Amino acid sequence: MESPMITPASMAFFPKLEILNYTGPYSHGLELARVVEKGTLPHLREIHTSFLGPMAEDGILRERDEKKDVEISREMGTVCRERKIFCRDMFTVVEELEEHYGELERVPDSPDNDWTYRDEEPSSQVDRDVLDGWEL
């Protein structure tokens, strides 16, 4: 499907949105920048964007338009800086990510990651079975 399910104009229905992951056609790039600039999303703190060119008749995406990517990225960056919103796109560099999210070492592990790492190999078949999740 060529267009996203939600257009930039419909963002007005989500005023409490804090983090937005937006993927859509190039034609929505500058429109989304205007929505952000107008303050339609007053609680927005972070936006991740990805814009795509039109699809060819055979359903395959055409090549990226680098000029449009740069134009949209600059405009989104400008309006987001004015509103103190972190803007992440294909041009975001590691230093910007580290500045916003902090160093990787300072990010806590996910609480649902209960995998334990062992320095040594299992010494017996029983140990291997326990590591594989088999109960004895």
Task: Give the pLDDT score at 1.
Answer: 36
Number of folded domains that form the chain: 1
Write out pLDDT tens, residues 47-98.
999 988 777 677 676 778 889 999 999 999 999 999 999 999 999 888 888 8
Is 130 a member of any domain? no
Strand stretches in the chain, DSSP E: 19-25, 46-52, 86-88
Is 44 a member of any domain? yes
Q: Are 51 and 72 in contact (CB under 8 A)?
A: yes
Is 15 a member of any domain? yes
Is 131 a member of any domain? no
**C-alpha angle 20-23-24 in degrees, rounded to nearest 5:** 130
Please give the Cα distance from 90 to 123 (Å, whole number): 46
Is 102 a member of any domain? yes
Is 120 a member of any domain? no
Structural domain containing residue 97: 8-106
